[in-house]
């Protein structure tokens, strides 16, 4: 936890001693009354917090904003809905890497039961975003959905925030001919929105590939070795952000 994240409603309110953030402040950062630490407001500013008082059941913390975080990279991640443990890793690690949105979608080879997991029903998914953002020393969280099909996601989210056309890249182990590492933006000096699509753990089906191609997606690969979906997400984002100068 490189940054202690506070919800806007928590500013000025006691932080219960049982809260993991309180334990982190006391046991990991080893802060005592009057000490300061790095903190931020979710989707808000980054600043400095002061541990004003340690009560029996809560910490009293004050926060002073210093700066706004930079905007998230213009990358929209579309992933075939995976098993919940894999989804947890992707939510955390893609947030750490930095993306504007993560859309988990139904594909030909998606198990429909994954969409009814407790990770989505109980709001657990957001906790993994917070862990990822705190690791990255950032406060901004990506938009997350899990209720669309691949076709719906490409239609609804296949462009930039302002409606400008996005470059659509899809990873595929079987029919892609070029390596993602060789892809270059048409104009390196212009920030172009990118949609990065990855299939579920069983890969894309023929109809999925047809939808991607009809949307103008370029099929690319990460090499001869077959990676787990969560590892492929991190590897692909690292390559893309290097290409974008992030």
For tokens 């899809």, the residue is 170
Cα–Cα separations (whole angstroms), residue 193 to 78, 173, 241: 13, 24, 12
> Cα-flanking dihedrals φ and ψ of residue 44, to 5°?
-140, -155
Give residue 192's pLDDT band: very low, low, confident or very high (50, 70, 90).
confident
pLDDT at position 162: 62
CA atoms within 13 Å, Cβ hemisphere of 50: 7
The domain 75-244 is placed in CATH, from the list 2.60.120.260, 3.40.1280.10, 3.40.50.1450, 3.90.1300.10, at: 3.40.1280.10
Range(s) within the chain of domains with CATH label 3.40.1280.10: 75-244
142-152 confidence digits (pLDDT tens): 999 999 999 99
94-138 confidence digits (pLDDT tens): 999 999 999 999 999 999 899 999 999 999 999 999 999 999 999
Query: pTM of the full predicted structure?
Result: 0.93
Edge-to-edge strand ranges of the sheet holding 178-179: 143-149, 101-106, 75-80, 194-198, 167-171, 218-221, 178-179
Give residue 161's pLDDT band: very low, low, confident or very high (50, 70, 90).
low
Which CATH architecture group holds 4-67? Answer: Beta Barrel (2.40)
63-87 confidence digits (pLDDT tens): 999 999 999 999 999 999 999 999 9
Residues 6+ apart with CB under 8 A from 82: 90, 104, 114, 200, 201, 229, 230
Write the DSSP assignment of 85-104 as a string of letters.
HHHHHHHHHHHHH--SEEEE
pLDDT at position 189: 55
Q: What angle do CA 95, 97, 100 make, to 5 degrees?
A: 55
Would the CA dihedral through 183, 140, 164, 218 be positive or negative? positive
Q: SS3 of 37, please?
A: strand
Among 40-49, 110-119, 178-187, which stretch is predicted with the lowest mean pLDDT?
178-187
């Amino acid at each position: 936890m490189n940054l202690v994240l506070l919800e806007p409603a928590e500013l000025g309110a006691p932080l219960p001693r049982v809260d993991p953030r309180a334990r982190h402040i006391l046991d990991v950062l080893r802060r005592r009354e009057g000490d300061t630490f790095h903190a931020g407001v979710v989707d808000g500013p980054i600043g400095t917090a002061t541990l004003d008082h340690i009560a029996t059941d809560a910490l009293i913390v004050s926060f002073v904003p210093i700066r706004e975080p930079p905007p998230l990279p213009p990358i929209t991640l579309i992933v075939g809905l995976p098993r919940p443990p894999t989804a947890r890793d992707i939510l955390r690690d893609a947030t750490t890497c930095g993306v504007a949105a993560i859309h988990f979608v139904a594909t030909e080879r998606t198990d429909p039961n994954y969409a009814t997991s407790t990770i989505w029903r109980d709001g657990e998914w957001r906790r993994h975003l917070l862990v990822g953002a705190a690791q990255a020393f950032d406060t901004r969280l990506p938009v997350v959905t899990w209720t669309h099909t691949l076709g719906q996601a490409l239609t609804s989210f296949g462009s930039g925030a302002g409606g400008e056309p996005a470059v659509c890249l899809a990873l595929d182990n079987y029919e892609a001919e070029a390596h993602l590492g060789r892809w270059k933006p048409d104009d390196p000096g212009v920030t172009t929105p990118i949609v990065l699509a990855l299939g579920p753990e069983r890969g894309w089906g023929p109809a999925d590939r047809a939808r991607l191609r009809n949307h103008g997606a370029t099929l690319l690969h990460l090499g001869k070795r077959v990676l787990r979906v969560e590892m492929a997400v991190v590897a692909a984002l690292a390559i893309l952000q290097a290409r974008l100068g992030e």
